[in-house]
Amino acid sequence: MKYQLTKKGAFITVFVTLVLVVCSLFLMSNIKINYDLSTYLPEDSNTKQGLVILEENFANEAAIQLMLNQVTASDVIKLKTDLTNVSHVSSVVWLDDFVDLRVVPIEFVPKEIREQFYKDNHALIQITFDFDGYDIRLQDSIDEIKTILISKDFDLRGEVLTNIEARNVASGETFKILFIILPICLLILLIASKSYLEPIVILIALGVGISLNQGTNAFLPNVSYITMTMALALQLAMSLDYALFLIHRFYEHHEAGSSIKDAISSAFKESLRVISASALTTIAGFVALFFMDYKIGFDIGLVLSKGIFLSYLAVILVLPVLLFLFGDLIIKTKHRTFLPSFKPIGQMVYRLRKILPLVFLLLFLVVFIFSRNVTYLYGNQTSSHAKTNLELQDERITEVFGYYNPVVILVKNQSIEDEIELSNQLSELKGVTQVLSLVTSVDPAIDRSLIDPAIKDNFLSPDYSRFIIYTSIYKESDELYQFNESLKDVVKEVYDDFYFVGLSTSIYDIKTSVSNDQTFIILLSALSVLVVILILFKSFLIPILLVLVIEFAIFTNLFVLYVTDTPILFIGYLVVMSIQLGATIDYAVLIADRYQLERKHRTPKNAFLVSYHQSIPTVFVSMIILFSAGLVEGLFSDIESIQSIGLFLAKGTLISFLSVLFFTGPLLLLITEHSRKNKQST
């Protein structure tokens, strides 16, 4: 295939690219970001069905709790009127809604009732809104509430506040991470490049792919905030290989005496195969996530695979044009490379070539066995850098009034006796701190036609009854999973038809969903990548070897978590596994491809040393940038899930690099030379 460049074609490419980038920049403001991870649950999950029933029968109204400090009962009653007038507030509930405090002094109210709302001069008020906890209109309502309380000593907690904080953090997170990683990339590329202009050219080309990916996200129904936060930095770091492959081949041909135009043509022809394979392996790793029942896998997989494809197009279409237009300037601004020589590394690995395959086999068995004992988390809770103000407020309320982890239980209407029985059994369940239902709020002996509709409609619809329990078990753990099992067993004894809606039950559903996905997704990812490499090398053994080297790196990454007793988000594990398998396998592909090319006219030893000498600098730079992207997200992100994924990715990238460095070459020598000897003997 002859690759031809003309000035006319170059300028047309630049013009079309600029138009597309400008359109993408305008489209970015239309991206719809989803902060509710429960929407990704399978349609047949209990939580997903429960949300639909809750909306149809009671309306999925969000609530927050307000604790007023050092107040009297009269102060609270006066303040309730102001809070009731806040926009989108449907109800403000306190002790006076259950006991007429104008008649009964607060100190004469039974302690078990009083201390649910008033304790040690602290008052706890429940504020309910017209919308669910993810509606952006509630931001204004919360601001109004804070304005009313400006002179008060108060604390707030609840899902609405958590979602607002997540939205505020995530809105600036994407570009904050990008602005940190860009200078790091620029510095690394400057050190590793041969020209001062080279890093700018590479980042412009990759910037085109990133802009197009962000712009086309506007055409999707929505994108999860986790995906949005990761996508820019990861796309940049993962697709950098493609630009490096092309530009390093360009230098090789130009230094061999080719003109800039011919050097670009030869570099394009020789690198297209490995660039295409690298992009396809990365895409294959992410496409496997499409098949998860927990559809956040589809969300992450689609955005990142789309991003890799657009970066691939930018490298093969835009980068050659930039080299053509600025080639003379790139050559004029050449400098010596600041990277150390990797020749000693290649020589050392070659000297150890006979023992390293055995070391690989032994280590593979060890890390594989222990990696199966890693603790996974299925919600969105990991260790944070520091407690937020919202978390501190929650702790202060918990110290006085206990935990606020509500779980809504929806059951098909049966008898009042069944409601009493379930309320009693729920109250006895370990971890339950409070049970709210119609029979606990109003004397069951009272005729229901006489009950205030404002109270009755909260718990009873024509078809369903609603129970709300509060539990002290909110951190993800085996205890939480066991609590959900026990909760299900308790409800099942009284009701046949029931649904749960809440954070802890949602985590349980996610765990159930993704646990079923795990083996299938791992096998599909490995098989997809294997097929791509099979097509590239037209060999059966080499692709298996390369996949095994990266699988070893994945198991080693998990082994480190096991040894350090560090839990990992399961979705984070799948994302990093996809990146390690789909992206860092490029390191092994590049070495193996170069070895095969050199082996055509060199001895095995020389082919080995040349492949390492020529490939490792490119692999090293690619690794350092992907490692840096993960480290920056791990250290500087304010989102716990992104912190966890970032640090896991940084470790995984480094482990992949070291695995490829020490094991790919020796294993490649072992199987290729053994195969050649067999052919010669026959």
What pairing do the DSSP bridges indicate for beta strands 376-377 and 568-569? parallel
Read out DSSP for 172-184?
HHHHHHHHHHHHH
Q: What is the dihedral of CA 150, 156, 158, 159, to 10 degrees?
A: 40
pLDDT tens, position by position, 292-351 = 888 888 999 999 999 999 999 999 999 999 999 999 999 999 888 788 888 899 999 999
Residue with more model confidence, 71 or 680: 71
Over range 466-485, report the average pLDDT.
Answer: 87
Percent of the chain clearing pLDDT 70 (strictly above): 97
Residue burial 561-593, b: 16+ Cβ < 10 Å; e: rest: bbeeeebbbbbbbbbbbbbbbbbbbbbbbbbbb
Residues in Cβ contact with 312 at an 8 Å cutoff, skipping those fewer than 6 apart: 209, 239, 242, 275, 276, 279
CA-based torsion, 420, 421, 422, 426: positive or negative: positive
Over range 526-552, report the average pLDDT.
Answer: 89
Cβ(533)–Cβ(668) under 8 Å?
A: no
Written as six digits, the tokens of 567 are 């839990």
pLDDT tens, position by position, 373-403 = 998 888 765 444 556 788 899 999 999 988 8
Type and span of the H or E element at 159: helix 159-192
The phi, psi pair for 375, rounded to 5°, reads -90, 125
* Cα 535 to Cα 542: distance, rounded to the nearest angstrom: 11
* Cα 282 to Cα 584: distance, rounded to the nearest angstrom: 8
Over range 220-242, report the average pLDDT.
Answer: 90
Written as six digits, the tokens of 512 are 């159930």
Give me the residues paired with residue 637 across strands.
none
Written as six digits, the tokens of 86 are 């806040």
Percent of the chain clearing pLDDT 90 (strictly above): 44
* Cα 467 to Cα 458: distance, rounded to the nearest angstrom: 9
User: Rounded to whole angstroms, what are the CA distances from 132 to 61, 174, 269, 610?
Assistant: 5, 26, 55, 62
Written as six digits, the tokens of 187 are 């510095």
Taken in order of first residue, the domains within the chain and their CATH numbers are 1-30+193-338 (1.20.1640.10), 343-373+539-682 (1.20.1640.10)
**Is residue 159 very low, low, confident or very high in pLDDT (cuts 50, 70, 90)?**
confident
| CA end-to-end span of the chain | 36
Residues in Cβ contact with 283 at an 8 Å cutoff, skipping those fewer than 6 apart: 305, 308, 309, 582
CA-based torsion, 11, 17, 20, 26: positive or negative: negative
The phi, psi pair for 502, rounded to 5°, reads 170, 170
What pairing do the DSSP bridges indicate for beta strands 118-119 and 89-93? unpaired
Over range 59-81, report the average pLDDT.
Answer: 89
Q: Which residue has the tokens 């009962």?
A: 73
**Nearest alpha-carbon partner for 322 in 13, 543, 103:** 13
Residue with more model confidence, 475 or 420: 420
Residues in Cβ contact with 405 at an 8 Å cutoff, skipping those fewer than 6 apart: 470, 471, 472, 473, 474, 502, 503, 504
Q: Which amino acid is at 59?
A: A
Q: How many residues does the chain have?
A: 682
* Cα 190 to Cα 446: distance, rounded to the nearest angstrom: 79
Model confidence, pTM: 0.85
Q: What is the pLDDT of residue 383?
A: 43
Over range 58-74, report the average pLDDT.
Answer: 88
